[in-house]
Structure 1
Amino acid sequence: MNKKAVFFDADGTVCDIEKGVPDSAVRAITQLVRNGHEAWLCTGRSRAFVPGYLEQIPFTGMISACGATIEKNGQRLFNKEMSSEVAELSVKILRRYGLVPVMEGADFMYYDKDEYTLEVNWYRDLITEALGPKWRPIKGNEKSMRINKISAKMKEGCNAEQALKELSAYYDVIRHENNSFVGTTVELIPKGCSKAAGIAAVCRIYNIPWEDTVVFGDSNNDLSMFEYAATKVAMGNASQKIKELADHITTDMFHYGIKNGLEKLGLIGTGSRF
Structure 2
Amino acid sequence: MSDKKAVFFDADGTICDMEKGVPDSAVESIKKLVANGHLAWLCTGRSRAFVSRYLEEVPFTGIISACGATIEKDGKRLYNNERTPEVAKLSVEILRKYGLIPVMEGADYMYYDKDEYTTDVNWYTDLITESLGEKWRPIRGNENCMHINKISAKKQKGCNAQQACSELSPYYDMIYHESNNFVGNTIEMVPKGCNKAVGIAAVCRIFHIAWEDTIVFGDSNNDLSMFEYAATKVAMGNASPKIKELADYVTTDMFHYGIRNGLEHLGLI
* 3-state SS of paired residue (2:151): strand
Residue by residue over 1:165-221, the C-alpha shift from the partner in whole angstroms, topping out at 9 and shown as x without a partner, is 000000000000011110000000000110000000000000000000000000000
Structure 1 residue 144, shift from structure 2 partner: 0.1
Q: Which residue of 2 aligns with 1:167?
A: 168
Alignment of 1:34-183 (within 5 A): 34-183=35-184
Provide the rounded CA distance (Å) in 2 between the counterparts of 1:180 and 1:125: 19
How far off its partner does 1:42 sit? 0.1
Alignment of 1:19-34 (within 5 A): 19-34=20-35
Q: Distance in 2 between matches of 1:55 and 1:167?
A: 32
Q: Tell me the amino acid that sits aligned with residue 15 of structure 1.
A: C
Using the aligned pairs only, state the percent identity.
77
How far 1:117 sits from its partner (Å)? 1.2
1:62-115 residue CA offsets vs partner (Å, 9 max, x unmatched):
000000000000000000000000000000000000000000000000000111
1:183-202 to structure 2, matched below 5 A, reads 183-202=184-203
Whole-angstrom CA distance in 2 between matches of 1:139 and 1:233: 41
Matches within 5 A, 1:231-242: 231-242=232-243
- CA shift at 1:2, angstroms? 1.3
2:257 equivalent in structure 1:
256
Kindly provide the amino acid, as one letter, of the partner of residue 203 in structure 1.
C
Alpha-carbon separation, structure 1, partners of 2:124 and 2:53: 18
TM-score, structure 2 normalization: 0.99
Structure 2 regions of 5+ residues with no counterpart?
A: none
The residue number in structure 2 matching 1:9 is: 10
- Give the Å deviation of 1:238: 0.2
State how many pairs are aligned. Answer: 268
1:244 aligned counterpart, secondary structure: helix
> Secondary structure, in 3 states, of the residue corresponding to 2:234?
strand
Counterpart code for 2:228: E
In structure 1, stretches of 5+ residues that fail to align are 269-274
Partner Cα distance (1:117, 1:233) in 2: 34
Aligned to 1:271: none
Whole-angstrom distance in 2 between the partners of 1:43 and 1:90? 22
Per-residue deviation at 1:125?
0.3
- Matches of 2:138 and 2:43, distance apart in 1: 26
- What's the offset of the Cα at 1:58? 0.6
Give 4+ residue runs of structure 1 displaced > 3 Å after superposition: none
- Give distance in 2, aligned partners of 1:204 and 1:171: 24
